[in-house]
Structure 1
Amino acid sequence: MKKSTLTQDNIWMKEPEEHDFPAAQDYLELLLVPDAAKKIVEDLKKAPTIIKKSKDILRASRLPLLPETNIHVKENLKKVQKNKKLSPILLMRGQNDLIIADGYHRLCCSYYLTEDMDVPCRLV
């Protein structure tokens, strides 16, 4: 897909996929007690989908940009090439940074497509 044809609507789904929420909970249980992780995921399910720039999400998370050669980043880039849409990213505000509960590889993929990509996400 050419960069000139990249838009939020042809790259991203409007709502997260159902399997993203258990994945977010699994990750958050590494950072929080299970009941707190479960509550955050329940809040993510109810939160509206908002739009943020991929470069801003990456900066706020303080995570490194994964290489394009990362298997999951490559899989997501291939999905986009095949006109398959990516699921929105699930985010949580931390003490001093943003926690990507689910979608880190999708975020890196979108950054490689264009760092100014509008990314649908849920934020709590």
Structure 2
Amino acid sequence: MKKSLSRDNIWIKEPEEHDFPAAQDYLELLFEPELAKKTVDKLKKAPTITKKSKDILRASKLPLLPESNIHVKENLKKVLKNKKLSPILLVRGQNELIIADGYHRLCCSYYLTEDLEVPCRLV
């Protein structure tokens, strides 16, 4: 399967609309609600760029979730069914990258191939 993987057959080009409220809910745990909202507004306007899954994971300092994780597993199944994943929403923190939305999609991507370019929004 790895040979047939490309950014274009795994990822859609733009985040889905429901990704932004999910990111805001998460960011409100880290920031005051107004700052979380402003950050999400910036994510909505940011261009979609690409970064390698292994680099995003390292910068976030989060552990790679196991393939058996229910959400990772669901995303892997989605890719096998030729359904595309939504780009990841990222925020630069003080000393680490914050994955505002898409942690499970990132882990899924890593299991597919850690060198694959992952579409993301970064603010």
Alignment TM-score, normalising by the size of structure 2: 1.00
Report what 1:10 is aligned to.
9
Alignment of 1:48 onto 2:47: yes
The count of corresponding residues between Structure 1 and Structure 2 is 123
Report what 1:67 is aligned to.
66
1:94-109 paired onto structure 2 within 5 Å: 94-109=93-108
In structure 1, runs of 5+ residues without a counterpart are none
Q: RMSD across aligned C-alpha pairs, in angstroms?
A: 0.2
Q: Which SS does the other structure have where 2:91 is aligned?
A: strand
Q: 1:117: Cα distance to partner?
A: 1.0
What amino acid does structure 2 have at the position aligned with 1:15? E
Report what 2:79 is aligned to.
80
Report what 2:30 is aligned to.
31
Task: Note the alpha carbon deviations across 1:87-121, whole angstroms, 9 max, x for none.
Answer: 00000000000000000000000000000010000
Distance in 2 (CA, whole Å) between partners of 1:16 and 1:117 is: 18
Structure 1 runs of 4+ aligned residues shifted over 2 Å read: none
Distance in 1 (CA, whole Å) between partners of 2:81 and 2:30 is: 35
Task: Give the % identical residues.
Answer: 83
What amino acid does structure 1 have at the position aligned with 2:27? L
Alignment TM-score, normalising by the size of structure 1: 0.99
Q: 1:82: Cα distance to partner?
A: 0.1
